[in-house]
Structure 1
């Protein structure tokens, strides 16, 4: 195929796009088990660019050898995280695809991809081309001008104006800016203690780095705090500038203005089929030409209105739609379409009357569309949903893109018509993959639960917005007071929210005991778990931890929730997701109510703002120690089962069993240790972690854990047999058959493997807890409705119900009965029920 000379050169940073694709797509493998998510994401992006015949695409990679910067600086890029072990082979596959597509590919020993990109950019500009650089590396900003733009990881087009607006510096000042701020990912030091705002202000005031350094050496740089820091870091800053400068004059034999070289079409198509990327065949054919042997294997385009080969035996119509934001109940419905097995009908201007008379909506993520309509007065419910089916077959499939790729081998379409067709195709193939357990999970739990959740989302929960605003004002005043105390303890002002500045204050200036440097950044940790053990070393630590907690509460919950209250209903309408969490638990969005803190007094206070309507009360019901009861059942440990059957204090009983102490003589500390181990054992709690959490010696912590497993041998046996099963089959299941694949269980990397092992033996417990809660909600919804009550929220192992005050006792009894009887275990399910005018007072 021939085409006109391209006017734009697109330079792709190969490693950057491979990494982005790797982490953007959850684990994706071929039927042979070969990981290919990075290859898939990279190829999809590449083909999208190649459709534009006005662009020439060139791909650049880092060479495997060290660069001249490593020779200058041995620790260059030493702070970067280790490359995932399954990524290098995928990058080799990507290189092969690039070559098979006939694209020019460059890598040069001794130089980085950045240097090649810089050199080709300047050459292309001289020859009159526009240049677009696809990269996540900000070093490329130094190349920007009227003809050169960067396409960043958010697919935003950045030029000089955008850099000036975002960072406060010009493109010509970019290298100077990087020299001052440094770069943790490349281990470039910069000036210690100089952050982005200060660096930007200095360059605005003094123009160039040379002038800044000149003033610093003369002792006249302002502000004084910057003077001291830069004067102490002059050599580091100069070296950082040298490391940050791209090479732009490499002699590269690049042919510009040529769309691509010779393409071995058959070898390319065979490679795509070997990767099982059959959905990309049509794109490739459109780009490189086709042969008679190709067209017969290409499925119809998903966004086509006439479908033909995609006929499906599903009954009725399947809906496809596009919402502006799917986790926002106020979002605009952009487009809807139906597919009846032969023809897709598009409704570009959606009229709600189109939906009147529909009893159920069938399609991918049917709940979101049903909720959109319900809140606007259209009485409809979510029906068959292939997304729920795909999620039940593998709980790692958490979005339509993965469902389509896994089961149809094509991408999730962009338009409503294509989505309707894709939904129909999924409905045609997924039910056949169900076994009896997953069929029952779908029919008895997930599908009816989507209807329950849609009603909950529409109901929302009443919020006392004035109370939230008052709490926010009070918390703001406390934060101001804390800031003053922190500055007094530190002896100076600094940005408390800046981890780098906090690190300097704590470890360099106040000389607190230094924690180990983190593997990822090479810096000393300022995380909560690192600071907690230092509370007694200096008063500033407690103040900083309180400031951090209150800032999060104020910004994330008090202020955010106030803004999200619907002014018409005075209620907060969150969105529940059934398919976001691999354990099967529900998540909530906009806002995320799952994360409202309940372990601190201040966090619990927020629940006072969740109130009942006049004449109603709130009832909360919480499964008591649900995961421990499930552990006793699944591990079949006699002693733990006995404790629950007798209604004993499980943590006191555990301490008694482990330490050989009469229950009545168990101390508060001993009970606390037992409680920590009881809840930590299924999350792989180590003796080191137990020692830190409880401030006890490592020997004492290690001994307690060893005696714990000796006292409850069924738990160790459960862990061992679960890991054996997972290593053999590659997945684990809940009691009800919810399945989670754990492909890393046999990884050669110890850290990856051990993390996978923790997932494997935790999933049957946590996943079954999620199943039981969902089953209880499905059973409760119609019964509550009969009493005039309504289910409002589900958070962790707890539900919140709004009920008429006149029937509060009846509703409480009903909830306790249904939740207790939801599932039969070898130990009784415990449920704690409370009633109050607000959520806080139900406890």
Structure 2
């Protein structure tokens, strides 16, 4: 006869199932039922059942509200939503536990923690040890020399460990939690009292009641802690009520007994239905006393495709695509012919190119033409000083000068090379643009060549030219009518507009930017010193590992998320932002990060990228990067200069107008919301835009049922957040965090939003259904984005695909509209002596002669507003100023 168990293993069923859900990649049975949480749970369970001295008891939260939820409705409201496919797996786990023959407890009105607390006390009363399997730190109040918590890495944690890590005893744990709170359970604590302060106060005064008494009689030090506790006193008491476990429930269970026989037939049927053969083997090995590790489950291949970086993004062998106009590389024959193609010209050998004199260059005052003249002059001098014999295969310049367009893969990059050297050649047909319209995953010629010709992209000029021609002939017929129109009416003419914008550049006030960099550097040093003071010692703030140790080990801040690859506690901005109010080191650290990034990305590099001949910065606009059709900006990336932060906006002061000119900024106002109203067909939202209403105030009024004139600032802010957030799949959890409101309020707001605007829910549903059927979604103009993730069995991948799918038609149509406006504006602006300089998201930056600024502003506004005919009007805001900042 087996001896009676001497250790009660108390498993928090929901906690272990939740942990198992994220520990394994998504897995399904043959019938498609998710099983990864079940598999992970059973692997841990069989490990714990292996020891015959263990009495394993599984405890679950009941399906009804608990007494804590009845007392405090916002209890645990801050928790992330349970994954939609987890509850069904938990029900399966319940059934398997019963069939195995283990005790399973659920007590209505009480949480699993309370049942576990009672069982731990019962185990001690029977002379047993107890091991608690949970992720809830409230269980630390139960710890004794006989009661331990089993951590996720299978280490036992006892009273001494709590004292060492947190600086408080087990008997002080509830008091400690009452002061610090717990964001995961929405336990408020005392606002502003962090772990170190709470620990210090309890070490000095022993109990929470004594700390409160000292605060009330004015003797508690420091003064700041005293004021924070008194200001949060009701929350402190509330937190203590929520944190205290019940340990005296009347449970009908016999301790120190082995598992029952269970129901083998039901167990076998369950494991067969769920295709959990490895679990069956583990359980059979348990019965035979030969349990071993299950065979690891291979992680399924991701459906997300990796596309190699475009070759032109990195200067490299042979050709440098995306040429930096701030550099003065010589124009070689290999570069010139790297991707040009013509069915009547055969190129078979390396070629040299020596420009001949041009007598026809016009002299103007524009910076780009001044550059042309100087470069052409230098080339003439070189040609005269060092005449070269004409080599085999020499290309006569007339072959290019006589052409208006150059056909090439990456034609715009090649055309800008020629333009800055005085050759009036524009980008023409481009197979890369065709490939991009076929599938926006086609962002680089090496990938396109491999995909459609099953050939490597050659390193030699002649080979590249030949493959470019083949790809043109192959891919053009594959475009449907809508995408042919996109090519000929938008992408090809846009490449010519962008080439001119790249060559023009934009004038920078380099002295201002260097001064701003110096001031920012001084602020960064001050912040670094503050961070060291908050940490209590000097460390490398830029070291991820050192920062992790300071934040989570030394300061004991809550760890919200771990990185997927390493499992380490995240120090990314997204993980730190929710901790902003937890400790003063966090806001200092976030500001330090922001300033360091701005300085390193923009302020220091940009003055060095100014072309010395033009005094202007020449960025490169990439047409084939973003899957939505939006333009990207490279070297430097001007699209990412932040405009929401004051510091980011300061950088825009460094972009200035040429003497005699002013800058005009024209920005589509709320274009994505207007497109959402049009495409969704929601009549209420359309009516708001048609009547010129404040859409955010109108939304708040409609959703909350208040008079529009009485909408508060907070209510309008919430409506604005949801209006824009719905396009990106904003969850109630995210809205709760962003607005600092209870989760229930955030969830209710989103529900009422879709009830108010049913057309938007209909649009999302229609778009997802179309995407699942056809494999792609598209803009109003027929631009496609393929979304294979929509039918993924991986829930995380699938939901990310859904957000992409219903966002793309809106964002992609906005991109198409501003491209149309740019094409229509190009020649009329030049006729007025004005020039388009930059395109950033929904904004155009134009340089206009001072005497014609009003006329230019009127032209730009009218053209942009008329770029598309929708059921709601497009609105454009135009501002002007001597620099980009002052145009707003």
Q: Which moved more, 1:712-721 or 1:323-332?
A: 323-332
**Residue aligning to 2:319:** 323
| Number of equivalent positions | 534
* 1:449-488 correspondence to structure 2 within 5 Å: 449-488=494-533
Check if 1:716 corresponds to 2:761. Answer: yes
Aligned counterparts of 1:535 and 1:610: Cα–Cα separation in 2? 33
Query: For 1:345-744, what aligned pairs fall within 5 Å after superposition?
Result: 345-353=348-356, 354=397, 355-744=400-789
Alignment RMSD (CA, Å):
2.2
CA contact (8 A) 1:585 1:767 kept: yes
- Shift in Å, 1:344: 2.1
1:554 aligned counterpart, secondary structure: helix
- How does the TM-score come out when normalised to structure 1? 0.61
Distance 1:768-1:580 versus aligned 2 partners, 3 A rule: same
What are the Cα deviations for residues 350-370 of structure 1, in whole angstroms up to 9, with x where unaligned?
Answer: 334523333210011100000
Distance 1:517 1:459, change over 3 A: same
**Post-superposition CA distance 1:329-361 (Å, at most 9, x none):** 335555143544362254533334523333210
Following superposition, the deviation at residue 576 of structure 1 comes to: 0.4
Deviations, residues 620-672 of structure 1 (Å, cap 9, x unaligned): 00000010000000000011101111111111111111111111111111111
The C-alpha deviation readout for 1:361-413, integer Å capped at 9, x for no partner, is 00111000000111121111001111111111111211112322333232222
Query: Is the Cα–Cα contact under 8 Å of residues 81 and 519 in structure 1 kept in the other structure?
Result: no
CA pair 464-417 structure 1, distance change in 2 beyond 3 A:
same
1:40-55 matches, within 5 Å, as none
Partner of 1:796: 841
Distance in 2 (alpha carbons) for counterparts of 1:441 and 1:814 = 24
User: Residues 821 and 867 of structure 2 are in contact (CA less than 8 Å); yes or no, is this contact kept in structure 1?
Assistant: yes
CA gap of 1:550–1:701, structure 2 versus 1, over 3 A, is same
Within 2, Cα distance between the matches of 1:624 and 1:322?
44
Contact 1:324-1:333 at 8 Å conserved across structures: no
Deviations 1:2-42 (A, max 9, x none): xxxxxxxxxxxxxxxxxxxxxxxxxxxxxxxxxxxxxxxxx
CA distance in 1, matches of 2:482, 2:707: 44
CA–CA distance in structure 2, aligned partners of residues 561 and 538 of structure 1 = 35
**Aligned twin of 2:343:** 341
Call closer, same or farther: CA 1:377–1:670 in 2, change over 3 Å.
same
Could you say if the C-alpha distance between residues 350 and 81 of structure 1 is closer, same or farther in structure 2, counting changes exceeding 3 Å?
farther
Classify 1:332/1:744 alpha carbon distance in 2 versus 1 (closer, same or farther; 3 Å). farther
What residue in structure 1 maps to residue 223 of structure 2?
none
Contact 1:322 1:333 in 2 (8 A): no
Deviation for aligned residue 1:81: 10
Give the superposition deviation at 1:83. Answer: 7.6
Contact 1:486 1:543 in 2 (8 A): yes
Distance between the aligned counterparts of 1:365 and 1:815, measured in 2? 29
How far apart, CA to CA, are the structure 2 residues paired with 1:326 and 1:827? 38
* C-alpha separation in 2, matches of 1:404 and 1:349: 26
SS at match of 1:533: helix
SS in 2 for 1:618: strand
Deviations 1:220-268 (A, max 9, x none): xxxxxxxxxxxxxxxxxxxxxxxxxxxxxxxxxxxxxxxxxxxxxxxxx
Give the Cα separation in 2 of the matches to 1:637 and 1:340. Answer: 50
Deviation string 1:156-177 (CA, Å, 9 cap, x unpaired) is xxxxxxxxxxxxxxxxxxxxxx
Q: Measure, in 1, the Cα distance between the counterparts of 2:442 and 2:27.
A: 22
Deviations 1:26-66 (A, max 9, x none): xxxxxxxxxxxxxxxxxxxxxxxxxxxxxxxxxxxxxxxxx
Report the CA distance shift for 1:811/1:81 in structure 2 as closer, same or farther (over 3 A): farther
Structure 1: give runs of 5+ residues left out of the alignment.
1-77, 87-186, 188-320
Residue 85 to residue 351, structure 1, CA distance change in 2 (3 Å): farther
Residue 431 of structure 1: CA displacement? 2.1
Change (3 A) 1:647 1:368: same
Q: Does structure 2 conserve the Cα–Cα contact (< 8 Å) formed by 1:622 and 1:799?
A: yes
Aligned to 2:377: none
Distance 1:361 1:346 in 2: 20
Which consecutive residues of structure 2, in runs of 5 or more, have no partner in the other structure?
1-19, 29-152, 154-316, 357-396
Deviates more, 1:344-353 or 1:482-491: 344-353
Q: 1:448 and 1:772 mapped to 2: Cα distance?
A: 14
CA distance change for structure 1 residues 682 and 324 in 2, over 3 Å: closer, same or farther?
Answer: same
Distance 1:457 1:344 in 2: 29
CA distance in 1, matches of 2:505, 2:784: 31
8 Å contact kept, 2:26–2:793:
no
Structure 1 window deviating more from structure 2 (582-591 vs 507-516): it is: 507-516
Tell me the secondary structure at the aligned position of residue 803 of structure 1: strand
Distance 1:449 1:531 in 2: 41
Larger Rg: 2
Work out whether residues 700 and 715 of structure 2, in 8 Å CA contact, stay in contact via their aligned partners in 1: yes
Aligned equivalents of 1:516, 1:556: Cα separation in 2: 27
Q: Is the 8 A contact 2:26 2:795 kept in 1?
A: no
Q: Distance in 1 between matches of 2:24 and 2:443?
A: 26
2:321/2:413 contact within 8 Å kept: no
Distance in 2, Cα, partners of 1:81 & 1:594: 37
Q: Is the 8 A contact 1:323 1:333 kept in 2?
A: no
After TM superposition, the structure 1 = structure 2 runs for residues 13-92 of structure 1, keeping only pairs within 5 Å, are none
Matched residue of 2:845: which SS?
A: strand
For the Cα contact (< 8 Å) 1:608–1:841, is it kept in 2?
Answer: yes
Runs of 4+ in 1 over 6 A off after TM superposition: 80-86
